[in-house]
Amino acid sequence: MTNFDLSAIFTPMPEYLDEIRAYLLSISEEVRNEPGCNFYDLYDEATGKLVFIEQWASREDWLKHNDAPSVAKITQFVEGKLNAPVELLLLTKI
């Protein structure tokens, strides 16, 4: 089975950057305990974006994650606090 890698890019409004960063860090442990999560790490990007670099054991595990309570909590928390929708980049290691 091939691992499934991706990044999720959040573009917070500047006044919410610290609040969103703290929340995403706090929920990371919950996500890391989901079945199939190999890693789920948050990074600061130079222009004020927040980027999760994720790896799942399979695409199916990632799809299950999308229906998990953690994703619903994140979606609810960031509502109205982002300059753009969350961008997903599906990655293939070369």
Judged against a pLDDT cut of 80, whether residue 88 lies above it is answered with yes
Question: Percent of the chain scored above 70 by pLDDT?
Answer: 99
Question: Given this model, what pLDDT does residue 2 score?
Answer: 85
- Secondary structure of the chain in HEC code, one letter for each residue: CCCEEEEEEEEECHHHHHHHHHHHHHHHHHHHCCCCEEEEEEEECCCCCEEEEEEECCHHHHHHHHCCHHHHHHHHHHCCCEEEEEEEEEECCC
Question: Given this model, what pLDDT does residue 20 score?
Answer: 98
Question: Given this model, what pLDDT does residue 23 score?
Answer: 98
Question: What are the pLDDT digits (tens) for 49-58?
Answer: 999 999 999 9
- Mean pLDDT for the stretch of residues 62-88: 97
pTM summary value: 0.93
Q: 4-91 domain in CATH 3.30.1370.10?
A: no
Domain segments of the chain as ranges: 4-91
